[in-house]
Amino acid sequence: MLCSRPAFCFMHKFRRKIPCIFWKGNGTLSMEHSTEVLYNRTMVYCTPEHRFGSDALLLARFCEPKRSQKAADLCSGCGIVALEWHDRGHRGPCTALELQPEGSALLAAAVEEQQLTHITPVCADLRTWRQDEGQFDVCACNPPYFTEGPQSKNAAHALARHENTCALEDVCACGFRLLKDGGRLALCHRPERLAEVLAVLRAHRLEPKRLAFVKNAPENAPWLFLVEAQKNRRTGLRVEPDVLIRAGAALYGR
């Protein structure tokens, strides 16, 4: 699968202060942010601590929900997966669950300004969140990739990249709780952890059904994989054609 069209077509290079409402009602937060605009002009608010890469865009398109399905974006950060789904036509209920208040606040501001009433930003810990269990059709998560190694001195970056507060087991347990039978959980992760990811999914009764590797060129080793599992389903994994993107750019065919 050759990715040939930009996932977002232009970006506003400006910063301004925005009032962001916390989900828990903790008042307002003002922060400087940049705005990135997706292909169909949905705005995403970002800061240096809460931004997104091509892995999140690839994940969103890999597991795109049907228009009216109930969906959840776990570890949502600035809400890029939920917003990309909206940009591509999803209008069903969408919960964006994020532990860090600043990330959730950025999405809340974007949702309010664009009147995206079907997206609900939730600032909470996925390990303990219990609402709407067994009701979701699709869950997606771009989880922390690392279990060890040097950590960033920036607390937000450390939480996003290392499994300090969100292990792979936590993501799979949350996905199993939220999904209805046959519902789909999709993850993106690093290839060296593929065997572990598949094992943990199956340990939580989430059967891997689709797998795709992401490469910069056909002759290159993959730098990412995308996997989708279904709750309480029989075995049967389909390996899909490689996703090829141009090095250094967030490109994906529409």
Identify residue 188 by its one-letter amino acid code.
C
Beta strand pairing status for 28-37 and 10-21? Answer: antiparallel
The CATH number for 52-244, chosen from 3.40.50.150, 3.40.190.10, 1.20.140.10, 3.30.70.260, is 3.40.50.150
* H or E stretch covering 34: strand 28-37
pTM: 0.82
Residue with tokens 């939580």: 204
Per-residue pLDDT, averaged over 133-149, amounts to 85
pLDDT beyond 90 at 158: no
- Name the pairing type of β-strands 43-46 and 28-37: antiparallel
Q: Is the pLDDT score of 117 beyond 70?
A: yes
Query: Distance from CA of residue 17 to its chain's centroid?
Result: 25
- For residue 31, the model assigns a pLDDT of 67
Mean pLDDT of 211-230: 96
**Residue 108 main-chain phi, psi, to 5 deg:** -60, -40
Tokens at residue 108, please? 């809340």
pLDDT band at 10; cut points 50, 70, 90: very low
Residue 21 has a pLDDT of 36
Residue 219 has pLDDT above 80, yes or no: yes
Rounded mean pLDDT of 153-157?
Answer: 49
Return the CA Rg of the chain: 17
Nearest CA among 154, 168, 49 for reference residue 105: 49
Answer whether residue 3 shows pLDDT above 50: no
* pLDDT confidence band for 49 (50 / 70 / 90): confident
Other Cβ atoms within 10 Å of 115 Cβ, number: 6
**What is the pLDDT, as a whole number, of residue 214?**
97
**At a CB cut-off of 8 Å and minimum separation 6, what does 248 contact?**
none
Given a cut of 90, whether residue 157 has pLDDT beyond it is: no
